[in-house]
Amino acid sequence: MSSAPLPVGVIGVGSLGFHHARLYTGVPGARLVGVCDERRDRAEQVAAELGTRAFSSVERLLDEAEAVSVAVPTRDHHGIAMVALGRGRHVLIEKPIAATVPEAESLVLAAERAGVVLQSGHVERFNRALRAAAPYVASPLSIASERLAPFQRRGTDVAVVLDLMIHDLDLVLMLVREPVADVRASCVGLQPSRVDVATARIAFASGVVATLTASRLAPSRVRRFRIVQATGTLALDLVAGRGEFRRVRPGVAGAPAAVERIVLEATEAEPLGLELESFVRAVRTGGAPAVSGRDGLAALDLAFRVLDAAGCTPALATA
């Protein structure tokens, strides 16, 4: 591993891309060389604020950066990421990894051919509550999630399943790691072409069932995740970044079984910052990314299965 900092850049510095750029300035082993955005004035504004350079094109940024975050609208993920991968650059691409499953498949294959890191931006894997719960998770029997948010225009270029629920689909796939046997779902939207509220029931080959709800028409922000397993129940609040594990303790010497409450806490850290650190570490060490391109593809494929089961395609919003 080279001791020189990894030159990184950010393509797309809207509300989320700005935070990629901001956090890269503090990631160990990385050096932010610049940003690029289709709005030249926005790129210059962010560059001035962060003390970096605004590049006039993606190609010029790729001349300087060995790794990039792609934080443009979903419809542009494939085109821009393919340019970067074609230049042999490592890519962290925001979720969903692409607008369609075939696009995601081509990104994964391009990265594998180029021998570079392709990481999918499923930032909830780095949530404080999930990190605290990880040592206690063992063979889930059922999973339930609620991911609710007030309406805002950002993110409405895709269905709520691809905008919000996909986080929980990724978590479920990470925890269960079995073939999906059955998907049932329903959805509604403010307009016929929109999907703003969705529920899904996903059954796995072993009988594990996950029930998920996502809405961007809620009065307040809610992120709840619950795991039931033979050893007890984990209840996580992903907004607060904490949770609890109610563990069943077997009876000893004739004493009855008891339930023990364990408060789940982990070190405070910004999840996106941890995600970027994991990306830089994978590039510098040659290790596997925390959330691979194939993980992003699997989550996207399941998201479209949910939409198909609900009869809510086309998935892309027209707003």
Tell me the residue type at 201.
R
Q: What is the pLDDT of residue 159?
A: 87
pLDDT of residue 195: 84
3-state secondary structure of 180: strand
Q: Does residue 255 register a pLDDT over 60?
A: no
Contact 202, 137 (CB under 8 A): no
SS3 content of the chain, % helix, strand, coil (to 5): 35, 30, 35
Q: Is the peptide bond before 314 cis (omega within 30 degrees of 0)?
A: yes
Domain 6-123+272-291 has CATH 3.40.50.2000: no
Q: What is the pLDDT of residue 250?
A: 66
pLDDT at 1 exceeding the cut of 70: no
pLDDT tens digits for 159-204?
899 999 999 999 999 999 999 999 999 998 776 667 889 999 999 9
8 A C-beta contact, residue 21 and residue 32: yes
Architecture of domain 125-268+301-310: 2-Layer Sandwich (3.30)
Band (317; pLDDT cuts 50, 70, 90): very low
- Give the domain ranges of the chain: 6-123+272-291, 125-268+301-310
Amino acid (one-letter) located at 134? A
Residues 6+ apart with CB under 8 A from 3: none
